[in-house]
Structure 1
Amino acid sequence: MESMLRYLGWTSVGLALLGGLLFLLMLEIFRLNASRSRSPPGPKPLPFVGNLPHLMKNSMAFVRSMAEYGDVSCFYLAQKQVIVVNSLPMVKKAFIQNGGAFAGRSPVPILDFVTNGYGIIMAPYGTSWKQQRRFALHTLRNFGLGKKNVEERVAEEAQYLIREMLKQEGKPFSPMHPIMNAVSNIICSIVFGDRFEYDDKRFAKLLEILEENIQLAGAPVSRMVYVVPFIRHFPGPHQKVWQNVKSLKDYIREVVEEHRKTLDPENPRDFIDAYLVEMTKQQSNEDSTFNEENMIMSTSDLFLAGTDTTATTLKWGLIYMMDNPDVQERCHEEIVRVLGFERSACMDDRAQLPYTHATVHEIQRCADIIPMAIHETTQATQLGEYHLPKGTKIMPNLAIFLADREHWKHPDTFNPENFLDEKGQFFKSDHFVAYSLGPRMCAGETLAKAELFIFLTSLLQRLKFSWPPGAPRPNMDGILSIVRSPFPFSTICRSRGTTH
């Protein structure tokens, strides 16, 4: 009798739990149906996880498919709805003409824990973000952004990169670390006041941390933090992300302390010096957001943004050059005809190097490294026929603009002719939105343009790249995380010599 009661007790508990789960499931289905009835069209979401499974299966195909539902569509990240804008005129109207209303930053659960609203990249739209971004742009310009001396730094670093690559001449090697080191040295010279050698083990570790975090942030377990936020308290790759960020912040704190000891307020050497001076100036201002945490996070943001996006684009560039040797040869011939073998490129050379200039843009178009930039509305606003409450997640579909079949001459293939007019001169399309739009557009666009053009021109001037014999071609879908990165690959480089 006692065992029967115990059995009935467990049966009741099981039935109660099952009933509770069924009730939650029905409630979620009702919520989704109610939400979809007043929302733009889109793929059908699953209860609790939304469209995350579709996104994780083939991210780029999923993002591009959103245009099939019209100018405005939507999908669900777990239980959070994301409005997708697939019309370029509508994107411009929202993110440029009404930019402030769409300038919020959608929280990323795996990163919010370490940024805490500080810095620039992930900071919410408001006073702190405005002050930090304005100061960063002003300071970067003061230290040469958009001026000849930065171009000279890039050209000099390009020669270091070429020498580093030639150490492996004729042998398969991974270009990942040399490219990241070279690109990072440009922003490091502005932020930290110095560059780092390619064999610097501590700096190599920082770059490894940076690369690892980019990959881990897009891992399936990390994305599941959207579905079940308390996962962040359990072991998993997200824990490694936070450890890596802590290591980077600890390094920046050490650099800041060294700068404090040698600071000359009248002659700031770099971004950190300038920030320390600004903190002193703002001490009596109650509305100031210049503090230690914002300094550490803003410095980290500049290091991250100034390294990964450009380095990732250059990695894709090598892949496209090896995949299209005819394009690589035509660029080399044009560069040597205009510059010879010895003179370094500068931004003024773009007009005389239209095919090379077009190739740089075609690399960016095909690489499409930031197809998903999710924003938030900062106030209630209107988008076409839809009313968007404050806090609505919204995404301009940059991927679809870069592959628009009605606009590009060769939308599905790598072809620099997409950026050349009938006379063979460079022509920039309004569908080229690689740096995003509106108040949140890339703050380092000027620096990135100089780096991409000068680095690529210098590499193609002096080196020839090819696939290692028998090497499998990497999956061109890439790895979609914070940025869209290529899978690891190897290359063979050979010196062009100084004569044909």
Structure 2
Amino acid sequence: MQKVCTMQTKEGSSEDMLPFDPVTVLLSIIVCIFLVTVLYKKKEDVPQNYPPGPKPLPIIGNILNLDIEKAHLSFLELAKKYGPVYSIKVGVQKMVVLCGYDTVREALVNHAEEFAERPTTPIFTDITKGYGLIFSRGHNSKAMRRFTLSTLRDFGMGKRTLEDKINEESNRLVETIKSYKGEPFDNNMIMNAAVGNIIVSILLGHRFDYNDPKLQRLLTIIRDIIRIGGSPMALLYNAFPSLMRWIPGSHKTLRPTIDEFNSFVREVFTKQRDQLDVNDQRNLIDCFLVKQKEEKPNPELYFHDGNLTTLVTDLFSAGMETTSTTLRWGILLMMKYPDVQEKVQKEIEKVIGSAEPQLVHRQHMPYTDAVVHEIQRFSDITPFVARETTQDVILKGFFIPKGTHIVGSLTSVLRDPKYFQKPNEFYPQHFLDSEGNFVRSEAFIPFSAGRRSCAGENLAKMELFIFFTKLLQNFTFKSPLGAKLDFNPIIGITLAPRKHEICAISRN
């Protein structure tokens, strides 16, 4: 007899949001003091045909025009008044915001070289020194990206070997979920662990048990980095770095948090360096260490320990966080839309049955493919991308100088009414034609576009399809009795579901 899915009443978890930081109040007072005591007589020189925007205030710029806890939504509101290309100032930092698919594509694709640089992000660049992949710039960025793409391909990205590894991990995830026997549980940590093990196998050459204390700690560190790095205090740090370095607050915990993860990485590659066999490169760290031995001395060394440490941290966090967060949104949406879940399960039964899901199945599963795409579109987990212009450029008739900080609103792209019939609703038909065939939308760019699009895009696509299909092949997901589904995200570098419990009813 099937168990009735029940839920124990629990108090709201403090993990759902970063605690209120009284330092914000103190900072507001300091800013007010600046405003009434500092003379601001010098008028800024604005280039001809520079994008329009709200008039900035002295010192604080346009911070009062933004909801700093939901900046991605503020960008949409400002676009309604100032158009798809407009300017703002956050503190003393000038920015140009791009909204809508046509505008973002013209910049990132048609003018790929001009919009190819990563801007300086003080809260992270102060810590990473510009090493690694995500926050690196110039030649270092190009060298790390080439190495990453090449190594990911060598270790199976897009190949059957990696596909089999994802299936093996998804089987372990299924067994873990079955152990809850239909009772409510929080899937956050085990989903992160399962997806994290895929990138760990590429980086380190092995996997962790889900209950391994070391893995649990690493996942907690990544969660904290994502939350703090996208918090209001981080935004204020980036706006006023010289001031915020001296003010206590949650942003001050970011450095020791990243340092702890980096310490783990250095410990791993130090051991691997002692055991290195250039003829048997077992993982990405081995490949990097071989490059390090081969690199000829020159003024611009790329394969040094600083780059290796930050690169592994970048790939672990990005490779785990985005995919696992998307899957968690997917399960939440299946609980809200049981009719969609049932249609996916029927297609799985028709095409796959009880066999292992493979990427080749996807072309015969248009509805499932459409649902996975719509989960990515609707969840909008990476609401904007940051770029910097490498030279003066004209965009949509506006002059944007070299070195301008660019914010590309992916939220405005994925919810562009010109390309999506019901942009604010979960609607899989966005990716289906009238006959039920899968159709691509050119405005579907959750991995960004252009020169700095996500290096792990192909890996993420493999993981999303196999994990999602395997989960719905084995379970029907339901909301615990009496629970209310909350689709307001936790704001961080990514937009993640709030703490919630699910019931996974076995279908076998």
Q: Same fold (TM over 0.5)?
A: yes
Confirm whether residue 409 of structure 1 aligns to residue 389 of structure 2.
no
Counting aligned pairs with the same residue, the percent is: 37
Confirm whether residue 399 of structure 1 aligns to residue 399 of structure 2.
no
Confirm whether residue 439 of structure 1 aligns to residue 451 of structure 2.
yes
Confirm whether residue 225 of structure 1 aligns to residue 244 of structure 2.
no
- State which of 381, 394, 399 in structure 2 corresponds to 1:369: 381
Gaps of 5+ in 1: 1-17
- Residue matched to 2:14: none
Question: Is the Cα contact below 8 Å between 2:231 and 2:491 reproduced in 1?
Answer: no
- Residue matched to 1:9: none
Q: Which deviates further from its counterpart, 353-362 or 284-293?
A: 284-293
- Residue matched to 2:63: 52
- State which of 475, 481, 490 in structure 1 corresponds to 2:501: 490
Q: Which deviates further from its counterpart, 241-250 or 404-413?
A: 404-413
Partner SS, residue 110 of structure 1: helix
Q: Report how far residue 262 of structure 1 moved.
A: 1.7
Greater fraction helix:
1
1 CA distance for matches of 2:316 and 2:85? 35
Aligned length: 474
Name which one, 1 or 2, has greater alpha-carbon Rg. Answer: 1
Q: Report how far residue 492 of structure 1 moved.
A: 1.0
- State which of 326, 334, 345 in structure 2 corresponds to 1:313: 326
2 CA distance for matches of 1:20 and 1:480? 29
Structure with the bigger RCO (C-alpha within 8 Å, sep 6+) is 2
Confirm whether residue 93 of structure 1 aligns to residue 106 of structure 2.
yes
Partner SS, residue 374 of structure 1: strand
Deviations 1:463-483 (A, max 9, x none): 111111112322x23123211
Q: Report how far residue 408 of structure 1 moved.
A: 1.4
1 CA distance for matches of 2:36 and 2:478? 58
Q: Report how far residue 22 of structure 1 moved.
A: 3.7
- Residue matched to 1:140: 152
1 CA distance for matches of 2:452 and 2:488? 26
Distance 1:435 1:468, change over 3 A: same
Confirm whether residue 262 of structure 1 aligns to residue 275 of structure 2.
yes
Amino acid at match of 1:425: N
Deviations 1:363-384 (A, max 9, x none): 0000111111121112222223
- Residue matched to 1:102: 115
Distance 1:22 1:150, change over 3 A: same
Q: Report how far residue 43 of structure 1 moved.
A: 4.0
Q: Report how far residue 419 of structure 1 moved.
A: 0.3
1 CA distance for matches of 2:476 and 2:485? 18
Confirm whether residue 202 of structure 1 aligns to residue 248 of structure 2.
no
1 CA distance for matches of 2:468 and 2:293? 41
- Residue matched to 1:24: 38
TM-score with structure 2 setting the length: 0.89
- State which of 84, 94, 106 in structure 2 corresponds to 1:71: 84
Deviations 1:449-471 (A, max 9, x none): 00001000000000111111112
Distance 1:320 1:291, change over 3 A: same
Q: Report how far residue 248 of structure 1 moved.
A: 0.6
Q: Report how far residue 37 of structure 1 moved.
A: 8.7
Q: Report how far residue 127 of structure 1 moved.
A: 1.2
- Residue matched to 2:302: 289
Q: Which deviates further from its counterpart, 373-382 or 112-121?
A: 373-382
Distance 1:166 1:45, change over 3 A: farther
Deviations 1:414-444 (A, max 9, x none): 1111100112111110010111011110000
Question: Is the Cα contact below 8 Å between 2:98 and 2:408 reproduced in 1?
Answer: yes
Partner SS, residue 396 of structure 1: strand
Deviations 1:315-374 (A, max 9, x none): 111111111111011101110121112x11111111111101100000000011111112
Distance 1:27 1:167, change over 3 A: farther
Gaps of 5+ in 2: 1-31
Q: Report how far residue 23 of structure 1 moved.
A: 5.8
